[in-house]
Amino acid sequence: MQSTYSNTLHKLPQVQEQRNDGMPLDLDWVMAVQANTSAIERRAKTLPGRRSVKKDYQAAWLCKAISLIDLTTLSGDDSEGRVRRLCAKARQPVRADILDQLGMTGLTTGAVCVYHDMVETAVAALDGSGIPVAAVSTGFPAGLSPFHLRIAEIGESVKAGAAEIDIVISRRHVLTGNWQALYDEMKAMREACGDAHVKAILATGELGTLRNVARASLVCMMAGADFIKTSTGKEPVNATLPVTLTMIRAIRDYQDRTGIKVGYKPAGGISKAKDALVYLSMMKDELGDRWLQPDLFRFGASSLLGDIERQLEHHVTGAYSASWRHAIG
């Protein structure tokens, strides 16, 4: 199993990519962007049945998916104890006996994502692990608090030790076509993050059209977003395959024109191992192997890990276990 994993995905090039410093807002480029919704939806419908991996190869891809998860808790009843348990799960995402049978060592999740108030707890719990802490910020999830407070919240999270900041954009700028306002907002948030990487949450379920999604993706990248992300997980519609195709093709277009690679994070509604495999194969097909590393791709998820762990146990034992045997915390 270990050799299969290594040959399949593990030994991809470990390159320190140039950070996206952004560029001046190019409204001609933005307004030229279109989205053929019917064609995108037709393509998306074919994806789940186009690529199938089995046995050791499937287990290898599922291990890769674990390494790309932003293990997340964003609940009103979060406590320090819950966050510490989540961090322990991030360090040891799969039961040791399963990993032993797979021949896997050193597997962790890509990051832990929490509210600002839990950043210090998560940083302390992950000390020495190399797992970064991501903080949702800027009035998450609505992004409607006063702008100076949203900027200040970013600074506080960075000061508390967050290495990544997941910000939310003002949806009204997209819905009214005020691309300059969106650019200026995103640029100010990027500057407030300093050395911390910034993921721009578009809340795509509230943007109305795929054309809006494509244009908002491009504007955020022009303003310096290191990642673009689908959703907060709190909207009625979160990550979908048509939205993902739209966003990753915007990433490809941006790289073609600037030479800069920007990351992608689907979040909300991805809870099954089979769905993770579809997203991974799509990233490989559309953007290439380089986007199968955690510096350029993440899943925003919590329950996804439990289902992947069940599938891995089935792979090594031939039987499915109860979900409670793979508790997140």
Active-site residues, by number, are 166, 229, 265
**Count of positions (residues) in the chain:** 329
Contact status, residue 56 vs residue 4, Cβ threshold 8 Å: yes
- With CA atoms as reference, report the closest residue to 135 among 42, 198, 56: 198
- CA separation for the pair 291, 191 (Å, rounded): 25
Question: What is the enclosing helix (H) or strand (E) of 73?
Answer: none
The three-state secondary structure class of 93 is coil
- With CA atoms as reference, report the closest residue to 105 among 115, 116, 94: 94
Contacts of 98 (CB under 8 A, 6+ apart): 309, 312, 313, 316
Contact status, residue 168 vs residue 142, Cβ threshold 8 Å: yes
- CA separation for the pair 295, 170 (Å, rounded): 25
The three-state secondary structure class of 287 is coil
Contacts of 312 (CB under 8 A, 6+ apart): 59, 62, 63, 94, 98, 102
- With CA atoms as reference, report the closest residue to 152 among 192, 114, 184: 192
- How is residue 297 annotated by DSSP? B
Q: What are phi and psi of 114, to 5 degrees?
A: -140, 170
